[in-house]
Structure formats: structure tokens, C-alpha cells
Amino acid sequence: MKKELKVTPGIFPMPVLMIGTYNEDGTVDVMNAAWGMAQSMNQLKLCLTESHKTVKNMKRTHSCTVALGTKDLVVESDYLGMVSGNTVTDKFEKTGLHATKSEKVEAPIIEEYPICMECKVIDFEEDGTLVEVVNVQAEEKYLNSDGTINLNEVGIISYDPYGHGYYVVGEKIGQAFSDGKKLM
């Protein structure tokens, strides 16, 4: 028997997206966002609160990077979702993480996160910010010989909208567009 729960956007897993931007003085800001998704083959929609430092930075630079949170960086990722660059000017510095400048967009790539999308802002829409993914980078050690990513190894985490937990996404259990053929 099923029980009714409090209404929640109950899709699990939700992502843990680490959005990197440059502040006006060239320092780095990163925020955590779970409300984001693929919008088309090369676009993402990010639902970001207008007052965040990240949004102010994106309005100025029309750029951001979007990295995927990993289990080794849970503490840093959560901290970056609780503290704002609006009030803590050395927010990123306090994490001890490192950044290099993207060659494609005006935004920082955070070295410690193994998968990173470099993005250009297309539009600030009412239901979220639409960005174009212009490049994707992944740590070589996680790449399979065919260029796909060995996701069993990366330790990507997801956000749980029911209990606010972080969970590791792992173990491959099937192949899309393939397993279903058994019933065709």
C-alpha cells in the first residue's frame, strides 16, 4: 500500500551541478544547483535565484561552467550551496579548490571536479537560464577507449529532494536503446 507524502518535485536523482563564474574582480565564485536539466542536445536550463552572486556574474560575463559534483567533494559542494559570494568574498578560496580559466568562455574550470561543461548564456528566461554547452571536458583517467566516460568510477553524486541527502550514482546495470530489444 502506498502512503501520500508532502508535495515535492520528487524526481530522483536530481543533479548536483557546480556552477562556476567569475566575480567582477576576477576571483572565482561557485554555487551548487540541483534544479537544472538538459533542455536539448546542447542546451541546459538552470533554475537560479536572481539574487545569487552567480546570476549577477552570468549577467556580466554571459558565461558559466557546470561541473558535476562527486563523492570526494561533498563537503565543498554543500558549502558552496550554503554560502553566498554576495556576503563571503573569499567563498571559493575557503574550499581550497583550484581553478583555471576556460579557453572557450569567460568562466573558471574547477580542477578537482572531473567532468565540466563550458557554457554560454543564451537567455535569462522566466522559468530559468538557458545556456549552450560549447565544450565538455573530462579527466582522462575516467575515459573509456571509445571516448565515453566510465561512470562506475567517477563517483558522481545526486541530490535527493525528499530527505535532502546526497547519493552516489554508480553501477551500470544496462544499455539504453539496446536492452529492450530482447522484447522486440
Ligand X SMILES: Cc1cc2nc3c(=O)[nH]c(=O)nc-3n(C[C@H](O)[C@H](O)[C@H](O)COP(=O)(O)O)c2cc1C
* CA nearest to 85, candidates 39, 25, 12: 25
Instruction: Choose, by CB under 6 A, the member of 29, 110, 154, 155 that binds ligand X.
Output: 29
**DSSP state string for 70-135:** BGGGHHHHHHHTTS-TTT-TTTTGGGT--EEE-SSSSSEEETTSSEEEEEEEEEEETTEEEEEEEE
Q: Among 32-40, 97-105, 139-147, 175-183, which window interacts with ligand X (CB under 6 A)? A: 32-40
Q: Which is nearer to ligand X, 34 or 115 (CB)?
A: 34
Under rule CB under 6 A, residue 54 binds ligand X: yes
Among 53, 64, 66, 119, binds ligand X (CB under 6 A): 53
Interface with ligand X, residue 33, by CB under 6 A? yes
Alpha helix stretches (DSSP H) within the chain? 53-61, 74-80, 151-154
Please state the closest distance from residue 91 (CB atom) to ligand X, in A: 6
DSSP 23-62: -TTS-EEEEEESSEEEEETTEEEE---TTSHHHHHHHHHS
Binding window for ligand X (CB under 6 A); candidates: 51-59, 100-108, 113-121, 174-182: 51-59
The cell for 60 is: 556580466
Our CB check for ligand X shows the closer of 37 and 149 to be 37
Binding mask 61-100 for ligand X (x = CB under 6 A): -----------------x--xxxxxx----x---------
Strand-pairing partners, residue 154, are none
List contacts with ligand X (CB under 6 A).
Answer: 29, 31-35, 47-49, 52-54, 78, 81-86, 91, 159
